């Protein structure tokens, strides 16, 4: 049976798909473009006839607020390779989601690691023209192009362009997309001044996940 193949970075992103109404299979890549590519290849092997990169992202465009949904028209990787998303599928989603979500179309950059400071986000925005940054979409896009299947990326802004990501948060994700709270707490003990930033990041990420849940409930 044909179905929608979805790649996320985190299990919490995958859980936001529980209301989706189409046959699908989801794999978590743990915030790594290479693993995202491997996940997408597995999904194709299992019969996926469409590929979707789905999850939260960091904002590069200063006008984007937390929770804004980005419907990517293109993905760019760290070396400048660009992948277009499927315009027909994208157009259908825009119509379906118009009454339930605030949607922005734009380019998303995929990187090996998060952009952790406002200055880094500004630099990447100027360099690539991307409005947001994630760590999975380019890997999925590559596999979609290779196999000639429709591809789309849907992302919700978690940390906006002005928000720094605390160092203690960077070790909190496993390869399968699970969280490692103890690792975060150990790092926080060494950098207690990061607590306020960490709490804000968690709050904003949860808000973004709720935005993704609304998208999933509307359908793909």
Asked whether the beta carbons of 9 and 177 are under 8 A apart, the reply is: yes
pLDDT value, residue 100: 76
Q: Calculate the CA 104 to chain-centre distance.
A: 14
The CA-based angle 83-112-4, given to 5 degrees, is 50
Report the C-alpha gap between 79 and 180 in whole angstroms.
Answer: 30
pTM: 0.93
pLDDT value, residue 199: 86
H helices of the chain, in order, are 11-15, 33-45, 87-97, 118-128, 137-147, 181-190, 195-218
Asked whether the beta carbons of 48 and 134 are under 8 A apart, the reply is: no
Nearby residues of 66 by Cβ (< 8 Å), 6 or more positions away: 59, 157, 158, 159, 160, 204, 207, 208
pLDDT value, residue 169: 75
The enclosing H or E element of 80 equals none
CB contact burial 184-206 (16+ within 10 A = b; e otherwise) = beebbeeeeebeebbeebeebbe
Parallel, antiparallel or unpaired: strands 69-76 and 151-157: antiparallel
Beta bridge partners of 6: 26, 52
Report the C-alpha gap between 123 and 121 in whole angstroms.
Answer: 5
The CA-based angle 22-13-157, given to 5 degrees, is 110
* Low pLDDT (below 50) residues in the chain: none
Report the C-alpha gap between 136 and 39 in whole angstroms.
Answer: 10
End-to-end CA distance of the chain: 17
């Amino acid at each position: 049976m044909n179905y929608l193949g979805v790649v996320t970075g985190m299990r919490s992103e995958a859980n936001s798909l529980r209301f989706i109404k189409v046959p699908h299979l989801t794999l978590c890549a743990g915030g790594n473009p290479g693993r995202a590519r491997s996940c997408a290849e597995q999904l194709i092997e299992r019969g996926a006839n469409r590929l979707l990169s789905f999850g939260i992202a960091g904002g590069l465009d200063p006008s984007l607020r937390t929770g804004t949904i980005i419907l990517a028209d293109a993905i760019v990787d760290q070396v400048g390779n660009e992948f277009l998303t499927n315009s027909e599928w994208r157009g259908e989603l825009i119509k379906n989601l118009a009454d339930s979500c605030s949607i922005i179309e734009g380019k998303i950059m995929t990187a090996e690691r998060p952009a952790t400071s406002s200055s880094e986000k500004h630099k990447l925005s100027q360099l690539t023209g991307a409005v947001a940054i994630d760590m999975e979409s380019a890997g999925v896009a590559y596999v979609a192009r290779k196999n000639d299947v429709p591809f789309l990326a849907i992302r919700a802004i978690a940390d906006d362009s002005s928000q720094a990501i605390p160092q203690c948060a960077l070790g909190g994700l496993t390869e399968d997309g699970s969280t490692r709270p103890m690792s975060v707490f150990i790092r926080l003990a060494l950098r207690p001044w990061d607590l306020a930033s960490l709490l804000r990041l968690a709050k904003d990420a949860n808000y973004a996940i709720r935005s993704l849940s609304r998208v999933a409930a509307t359908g793909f």
